[in-house]
Amino acid sequence: MSKVAELELVLRPMGAGVYAVDLISSPADSDSDQRLSAKASIDAAALRTDLSAEAYGRAPGQALFADEGLRNGFERSRILAQGAGAKLRIRLWIDAAAPELHSLRWETLRDPSGTELLNSPDIWFS
């Protein structure tokens, strides 16, 4: 069985397109979690316009990782997983009070560098 590192992104509405974002990272070879929190502005209505797949995936990625701490925490999680020879399981949890985010095409999400995040055999997404 493959080693797996866990990364959970939790989104909760704060009002007017602003969301609390919690990043919870559990390395494959450790029982300790790293927890980071920030705010992100996501314009769900703008994502329902006619955007290319690249632009559609880039917009929420840029919003989620606009905070330097979250961006660095995400990159650290990915680097630690790669270094341990582990898969990285990314779980996205969206609060029920944010139905506008549930219908977004999260599978198109791009990482902070603009690369398709979920198009890697080493990343599992749910």
Cα angle 40-126-33, degrees, rounded to a multiple of 5: 65
Residue that has been written with the tokens 């929420």 in this structure:
60
**Mean model confidence pLDDT for the chain:** 89
Per DSSP (E only), the strands in the chain are 4-15, 18-26, 34-41, 87-94, 123-125
The reported pTM is 0.88
**pLDDT of 1:** 52
Q: How many CB atoms lie within 10 A of CB 7?
A: 24
Query: Which CA distances in Å does 7 have to 31, 76, 99, 102?
Result: 13, 11, 22, 19
pLDDT category, 88, cuts 50, 70, 90? Answer: very high
Domain boundaries, the chain: 4-125
Q: Is the dihedral of CA 7, 60, 123, 11 positive or negative?
A: positive
Q: With CA atoms as reference, report the closest residue to 98 among 7, 6, 8, 19.
A: 19
**pLDDT of 68:** 93
